[in-house]
Amino acid sequence: MLKAAVKVGVPVEMLCTPLNISVESLKSNLSVLKGICPEVIDLFNDKDIPINTFRTLRKMVPLRQIECANLMVKFENYSTLFSESLCHSSSPECLIQHPKKKSDSKLANRKAIERLEKEMAQVHFDTQKIKESYGSNSLKLTIIISHIKKILENPKVFHWLLRNKNDYLNELTKISDIDKLT
């Protein structure tokens, strides 16, 4: 809407006063979508997207922008980090080439690889931690289920729960009906 007003000829300064924002801020907001293909703009129309995500998408060709935007919508993740990881995983043909110093790009690639290696190591560590506790937790849960079954087999306890704590009885019955831990 603001873009349309500026196109018609409304001065930017006149728009800034009622919105209570600076001229620079409005100008930067108006230029956010430059270099972004219309399909991506339509996909993100009702979403709250960080400005840096658009800056990252601008580095890609339009077809790759659409692919990445669809992935972001699918995973409901519009963060700058996610967009940067999609950009880094893009093939060179999918990126808009800007002249850079080779040493800078090699350094950036090395840093990205190191960061990914650290993240993979952390994920591996977390997975091992879960694997270690899984056996113990499933054993405890099996014991708890058998204990609940024994408690519910006691007629006095069962009738007391039925009369006084029916919601507890329902939940305990659901737990005791668990046959397999998956």
- pTM > 0.85: yes or no: no
pLDDT per position as a tens digit, 101-151: 555 677 788 888 888 888 998 999 999 988 888 888 888 999 999 999 999
Q: What angle do CA 176, 181, 182 make, to 5 degrees?
A: 140
- Percent of the chain topping pLDDT 70: 93
pLDDT recorded at residue 104: 65
All structural domains of the chain, each given as residue ranges with its CATH number in brackets, are 2-132 (1.10.10)
The CA-CA-CA angle for residues 174, 180, 181, to 5°, reads 95
Query: For 101-156, what is the HEC assignment?
Result: CHHHHHHHHHHHHHHHHHHHHHHHHHHHHHHHHHHHHHHHHHHHHHHHHHHHHCHH
> Which residues touch 177 (CB under 8 Å, ≥6 apart)?
none
Q: Which is nearest to 55 in space by CA: 24, 73, 33?
A: 33
Rounded to the nearest 5 percent, the helix, strand and coil shares of the chain are 75, 0, 25
Q: What is the pLDDT of residues 75-97, one digit of tens each?
A: 889 999 999 999 998 888 889 87
